[in-house]
Chain A
Amino acid sequence: MGSMSFPSKEMMQLASFEARLGEDLSLQDIEEIEQQIVGLNQTTDKTRGIAVGLFNRLEAKKPALIDRGIVKMEQASDPVSKIKLLTPLIGYLEPSAVDEKLEAIKLEASLCDQKIQDAVQKQLEHLEFAQQKPVIYEVEGLRAEMERIAQKIEESGTLDALKLLNPVQLGEVRRAIARIA
């Protein structure tokens, strides 16, 4: 009797990431897929090879998305929207390019009314604060992870995905339940 081999769990997951390459991915989507690939148990040379290939293809998509993001930012109608659109691009740009764009936004804001100037100032503070205190970026990373877990819970109709939380996070979720009950 012949034996039949099934693709491993890692292979299945890599195949699902491969399928997503055809989608209209955002930079955030790419980062999330990359994180999930890193989190995989790459036990064989074959899975490692596929993972590296996927990484390369994901990386190759980034420059066009960054360029598209900059065009969208520059076409935004007001300085507050421009800062919001620039924020997710900052990690991909040279610091001098970021400074240049922020200066241009500040200059544009200085020509607007006080309300816009105040809003721009607040957005700039958000950016500076996140650069000074990197835990702010970690909160954003956790938010993306939590959204995935919440989605798994909703799709499966079970609480199994809560096992992905650490004990502190689980305690906080229980606290939130008690608060909203």
Chain B
Amino acid sequence: MSPEGASHAIEEYMKALRKQASIAESFYYGRIGEGIEGLLELPEDVRLKIDQLIWDAAGGEAIDPTDPEAGELIADAILFSLEERMGLHAS
């Protein structure tokens, strides 16, 4: 890894975090199409983790993303994953 490459990668990492925050915001405000489009652009492992978090938070029930409460639940799952990606949950 070159210093230039590392510096660029740090910038990309921050862009990815901000993008994830904006995806959460889309769901929070009911912009479902925009939110789903953003979710599909996330790395697969991150997306799977978010699916799992939503599933757990909804108690295994199907949720309707157009319902405002479900929108906030999805936003919270995305933000929890965001905190993980920032290393805030590391022990």
Give A50 Cβ to nearest chain B Cβ, in Å. 31
Beta-carbon contact of B3 and A135 below 8 Å: no
Residue of A with least CB distance to B2: A159
Beta-carbon contact of B3 and A154 below 8 Å: yes
Beta-carbon contact of B3 and A172 below 8 Å: no
Residues of A within 8 A of B24 (CB): 129, 133
Beta-carbon contact of A135 and B25 below 8 Å: no
8 Å CB contact of A125 from B8, B29, B79: B29
Beta-carbon contact of A159 and B11 below 8 Å: no
Residue of B with least CB distance to A172: B13
8 Å CB contact of B5 from A142, A166, A177: A177
8 Å CB contact of B86 from A126, A168, A175: A168
Q: Does B88 contact A (CB under 8 A)?
A: yes
Q: A133-B75, A138-B86 are in contact. Are A176 and B12 (CB under 8 A)?
A: yes
Alpha-carbon distance between A176 and B86 when the two chains are bound, in angstroms = 14
Residues of A within 8 A of B25 (CB): 125-126, 129
Q: How many residues of A contact B (CB 8 A)?
A: 35
Q: Does B40 contact A (CB under 8 A)?
A: no
Q: Does B59 contact A (CB under 8 A)?
A: no
The segment out of A33-41, A55-63, A143-151 that lies at the interface is: A143-151
Beta-carbon contact of B10 and A146 below 8 Å: yes
Residue of B with least CB distance to A132: B28
Alpha-carbon distance between A160 and B78 when the two chains are bound, in angstroms = 32
Beta-carbon contact of B13 and A133 below 8 Å: no
Q: Does B60 contact A (CB under 8 A)?
A: no
Alpha-carbon distance between A100 and B11 when the two chains are bound, in angstroms = 36
Beta-carbon contact of B12 and A180 below 8 Å: yes
Beta-carbon contact of B21 and A139 below 8 Å: yes
Alpha-carbon distance between A181 and B2 when the two chains are bound, in angstroms = 11
Alpha-carbon distance between A80 and B88 when the two chains are bound, in angstroms = 32
* Between-chain CB contacts (< 8 Å), 18 pairs: A125-B25, A133-B75, A133-B79, A135-B79, A135-B83, A146-B14, A150-B7, A150-B10, A153-B3, A154-B4, A168-B86, A173-B10, A173-B13, A176-B16, A177-B1, A177-B5, A177-B6, A180-B9
Q: Shortest 4 CB-CB distances between A and B: which pairs?
A: A168-B87, A176-B9, A176-B12, A166-B87
Measuring CB to CB, which residues of chain A are less than 8 angstroms from any residue of chain B? 125-126, 129, 132-133, 135-136, 138-139, 142-143, 146, 149-150, 153-154, 156-159, 162, 165-169, 172-177, 179-181
